[in-house]
Every structure is written in C-alpha cells, then in structure tokens.
Structure 1
Amino acid sequence: MPHLHANGIDLCYETAGNPSDPALLLIMGLGAQLVDWPDGFVEELAGRGFHVIRYDNRDAGRSSLLDDLGVPNVPAILGGDPATVPYLLSDLAADAAGLLGALGVERAHVVGASMGGMIAQQFAIDHPDLTASLCSIMSTTGDRAVGRATPEAAAVLMRPAAPSREEAIAGGVAASRVIGSPGYPAPQQELERKHAAKFDRGYRPQGTMRQYAAILASPERTEGLRGVKVPTLVIHGADDPLITVSGGEATAAAVAGAELLIIPGMGHDLPRELWPQLAGAIAGNAIERPRTGR
C-alpha cells in the first residue's frame, strides 16, 4: 500500500473509486486500521460517486509507530496529569488534513467511526475549509457524562496486550462478540479472518494506548461543534455498549441542523447487512443536504 509523508509522519493509505469524483475521507477508531473499513462497504461508497480515501492513523497499522514517545500513564492522565500524553485528537486531525494536502485534495466529505468520529469532529472544527460534510458514526463529543460504556465493554477496552498471535486473534474475536451488533452477529470465521489479518498487518498495542491517552486528554468538542456549518449526519447503534447512544445524541444536538440516525440492533461495528443503509445515508448527507447554519 502507498505511503505519504504528512504532518511530520508517514501515513499508509488506500483509495477506491474514480479520482475525479468528490473525495470522501474515512477515519477509523482506537487501535483500528484502514482494513477495519470493510472492502464491501468501501465499494458501496465508491459506487455512489465518491473517491474514497482510507488510511491508518499514526500508531496503527502501517503508518508511523511512535514508540519513542513512550507508554502513557493512563491512571495519571485520568487524574488530570498530562505529562505522559503524547499527542491529542487535534494532532490526529492535522494528520488527516496533511494527508489530503499531500494528495492534492482541496475539500473532502469526512466520515469517522468511534475514535475516528472524534477525529472527524475535530477535523471539521479545526479545518472547516477542507470539510465538505461531516458524518460521525458510533462516537461522542468528549463529554464524559454521555456515551459511557457498559462495564462489560469497558473491560474489553482495557484488556492487556496479547502475548501471542493466537491469543491476540482470540481476544479480538471475543471483544467483537461483546461490542458487536446483537441484531447482526458476525460469523465466527469472518471475525477470525479479520483479526488474523489485522495482527499480521500491524499489531500495535502500545500505539493503541497512546491513542487512548489522546482521547482522555483532549478537550470536549461540544462548543466547537456548535460552529460546524456543513451538512452533518450522526449515526449510532441503539445497542452500542462501548459508546452508548447518548454519545451520538449529544453529538447531533451540538451541531445545528444535524441529522441523527439511530439503528436498532446495531452495536459498535459495521455489520454487512447495514452497508447499503449506511452508505446511502452518508451519500444523502454529502450530496443532497444543504449546508447547515443558525
């Protein structure tokens, strides 16, 4: 896969669709990789007239691994000490802006899932001239009073790094069962293939902890989101246990004119059965909706 040097780091990316079509940037979540955007879903988006760009965030997959920044002290960060915070969500948003600049993209429809939704929100706040539309999926505003994980999902998030490939795959499958969509359970073999491919492509548990520190240390985005003026869609699973639905509701409430789509049976994943609905909603927001505003 190709790499570009942007914002001082190397970013691994992939594109799909016609380069002459409007750009649509996909941003993935905590510890996730560009392959966590399923190929079939990417094809759904490209088929609706977008040049789709997906990439690995810093500290994930095949983008720059920043081990020189050390391992953050999460308990200290939760206690208000930012000394070991390596970077913030605004830096991850700047990576995305740098990628678009290096690709010669002047403006993009920005779609993010989970932590990627947080980055997409920050991108729209920090880089309004680059943002054609915004879609935040299964994410939240940074207000810790909303979107709180269930105890079971929180335990999955904090599981220790696996000591072997086999245990990493088994742990990934088990985590997917906890946070995935109860209405659309993924086949066992599909989950095993997915987590095996992710491990082989780039298992970066220390990088995931640095990303998590960025989430914890970044300021709440509610006030910034009030200034977002592009068409905005918020998608959330009604049965998401990792970022519960109040996170999506708060996101939509913060952006004037935002559309909120809550999907029954959907958890914290992108079920195959929902790809046409999700892609259609994203395309409708990007192409058909007028710009928002007060």
Structure 2
Amino acid sequence: MSAQSAAVGRGITLAYERSGAGGTPLVLIAGLGQQLHEWPEPLCALLVGRGYEVIRFDNRDVGGSTHAGFPPPRPIQLLRGRWHSEQYELDDLAADTVGLLDALELDSAHLVGMSMGAMIAQTVAARYPARVRSLTSIMSTTGAARIGRPAWSTWRLMMSRPARTRDDHIDAAVRMYRHIGSHGYPFEETAVRARAALAWDRDPHPAPGVGRQLAGIMKSGDRTRQLRAVTAPTLVLHGDRDRMVAPTGGAATAAAIPNARLHTLPGMGHDLPTGVHSSLADLLHDHLSAPVRSTDAP
C-alpha cells in the first residue's frame, strides 16, 4: 500500500491508506499523536482476511495530513482552558472523518477507534448516525471529570521536554510504551522503535500537533450527554492494565451509549500487542457481522 491524500473540506487534507478492495468498509481511527501505521499491519491483514476493506488515515496535525499553523497551548493554558481562537475540537475531527467518507464515496462504514480515535468515532456516531454501520470504542473515555484519567506517572511522561532529534523521539516512545503498554504481554521494543522511527520520518518534530490535538480533546469537555444519541451497535473494549486511559473510561463509555457492550481484555494496556491481535480481530468480526438488534437504528 502507498499513502494517498484526500481533501475533506474546510481546507483539510488527510493522508490515508486502504487495503482489501471490495470488502466491507472498515475505518480505523488512530489516537492522540498517532499516525495511521499505529494500527499494526498484522491486525489489518487479519481484518482484510475476514472480508473487510481496511481504511487507515492520519488525523489532522499528524503524519501526512494538514497541520494547523497556530502555536500549541502551553501546559498552564491547558490547565486553565485557555484556547487559541483557531483551536479545533473533536467535532471538527469528526467532520474530517465524514469528509473522508465523502471523498472515498462511502455512504457509511464501520468505525473502530482507539483512544482519541475512539472519541472521534463516538462523535461521528452521535452526530452523523446514518454514516456509521457500527461503532467500536477501544481504550477510550467520555471526557467526564475524574473518569478515565491518566495515572500521574503518565502525565509526567506526557509533559516531558519534546524530542529534538530522531533518536530522542524513538527513545521517548520506548519510555512511554514501556510505561503505558500491555504489562500482561511481552514488551515489543523492536516494534515500538520501528513505529517511532517511521513516525518521525513521516512527520519530524510532531510535538506541536500533539499539543493541539490534546487541546482539542480537553476543549471538547464532557461528552456523556452527546453519547446518549448514539444509535449504532456499539462494542467497548478496554484493557485492565491501562495507565493512559483508566478502565473507568471504558465503563463510563459503555454506560453512556445505549445498548453498548463492554468487554475487558486482561493484561492489555494502552497499546495493541501482538498477543491480542487474533482475539481482537475475532471480537471485531463478531461485532461487525452481528445482525442489527431491534432496538438499534435501521
């Protein structure tokens, strides 16, 4: 596969990749600061093998997609909720996603998001219900206060000085994923280093974009009421070792979305280790191929 780009409206262009042409459309939405390749190739191959056309993309402000020109907020501005006049929200990232569906001429698709990507997917499902065949929210939350918050040790890592070189960026990724990763599975340092190297090569000095994305999450606030409008069949997946988004976030998400199912993955943290790929592909396929329940929207 090679990355392509699509204009999705409002001056935003998104870089994307698709595989499994002719399959049922399945859009994978990456998390905070993540690029499309954070969805592991082996997992994507398993999904293609189950009959899906897998579409991955870079959200705005990362990778090969449009980057905003305004400065990211400083930590004190984040704490005080003081935003630049051009600061976007999750609603805007959801509109980007719908714009990508338009550009690819897809009336609707299954949406699977992880972390911030799941927040985007949730927002699409709430605001554009006709475009969403099903929703899967992985390791995410509702934005409610004191719910699904990072551990203090995770906040300290997040607030570290941004990497200035490629090697520093790779080392920082290893430190972060050694901390927030799936402690119930072996740490895959080689894979973490490879993904971090590719991320830097595609988008050197990514810290400003990550800061703007984080501000977008925080500016969006508590979305619990919005999530009550979701009608798509919804599966919520969360690991029990997550130090980035505490498991309370998954429980709150499932409680907020009508008829959502919550499934806990033992040993999983805030990543997708090789050991969960097979079970995750099975869980997704079972959910995506299930008949629509009578309480769901047609």
1:12 aligns with 2:15: yes
Displacement of 1:81: 2.8
Correspondence for 1:214? 216
C-alpha spacing 1:164/1:80, structure 2 compared with 1 (3 Å):
closer
Correspondence for 1:156? 157
Displacement of 1:214: 0.2
How many Å separate the matches in 1 of 2:83 and 2:237? 31
C-alpha spacing 1:271/1:289, structure 2 compared with 1 (3 Å):
farther
How many Å separate the matches in 1 of 2:173 and 2:67? 21
CA contact (8 A) 2:29 2:57 kept: yes
Mapping of 1:69-84 within 5 angstroms?
69-83=70-84
How many Å separate the matches in 2 of 1:71 and 1:148? 21
Mapping of 1:33-72 within 5 angstroms?
33-66=35-68, 68-72=69-73
CA distances 1:40-76 after superposition (whole Å, capped 9, x unpaired): 111111111111110000000111111x222224422
How many Å separate the matches in 1 of 2:188 and 2:24? 34
How many Å separate the matches in 2 of 1:136 and 1:83? 29
How many Å separate the matches in 1 of 2:87 and 2:81? 14
Displacement of 1:160: 2.1
State the Cα RMSD in Å: 1.5
Correspondence for 2:280? 278
Mapping of 1:138-153 within 5 angstroms?
138-153=139-154
1:168 aligns with 2:169: yes
C-alpha spacing 1:253/1:289, structure 2 compared with 1 (3 Å):
farther
Moved more, 95-104 or 148-157: 148-157
1:198 aligns with 2:199: yes
Displacement of 1:223: 1.1
Q: Which amino acid aligns with 1:2?
A: Q
CA contact (8 A) 2:225 2:256 kept: yes
How many Å separate the matches in 2 of 1:145 and 1:260? 20
Structure 1: gaps (5+ residues): none
Displacement of 1:244: 0.6
Q: Which amino acid aligns with 1:10?
A: T
TM-score calculated relative to the size of structure 1: 0.95
Displacement of 1:84: 5.1
C-alpha spacing 1:187/1:119, structure 2 compared with 1 (3 Å):
same
Displacement of 1:39: 0.6
Q: Which amino acid aligns with 1:189?
A: T
Q: Which of 265, 268, 276 is the equivalent residue of 2:267? A: 265
Q: Which amino acid aligns with 2:19?
A: A
Structure 2: gaps (5+ residues): none
CA distances 1:242-262 after superposition (whole Å, capped 9, x unpaired): 101000000001112111110
Q: How many residues align?
A: 292
Q: Secondary structure at the match of 1:132?
A: strand
Displacement of 1:219: 3.0
Displacement of 1:163: 1.2
Correspondence for 1:185? 186
Displacement of 1:289: 4.5
CA contact (8 A) 2:13 2:66 kept: yes
Q: Which amino acid aligns with 2:166?
A: R
How many Å separate the matches in 1 of 2:253 and 2:216? 19
How many Å separate the matches in 2 of 1:128 and 1:78? 33
Mapping of 1:61-140 within 5 angstroms?
61-66=63-68, 68-83=69-84, 86-140=87-141
Q: Secondary structure at the match of 1:40?
A: helix
Correspondence for 1:240? 242
Q: Which amino acid aligns with 2:179?
A: V
How many Å separate the matches in 2 of 1:10 and 1:293? 33
CA distances 1:162-211 after superposition (whole Å, capped 9, x unpaired): 11111111011111100000011233222222211211121311011000
Displacement of 1:228: 1.0
Q: Secondary structure at the match of 1:253?
A: helix
Q: Which amino acid aligns with 1:15?
A: R
Q: Name the % identity.
A: 42
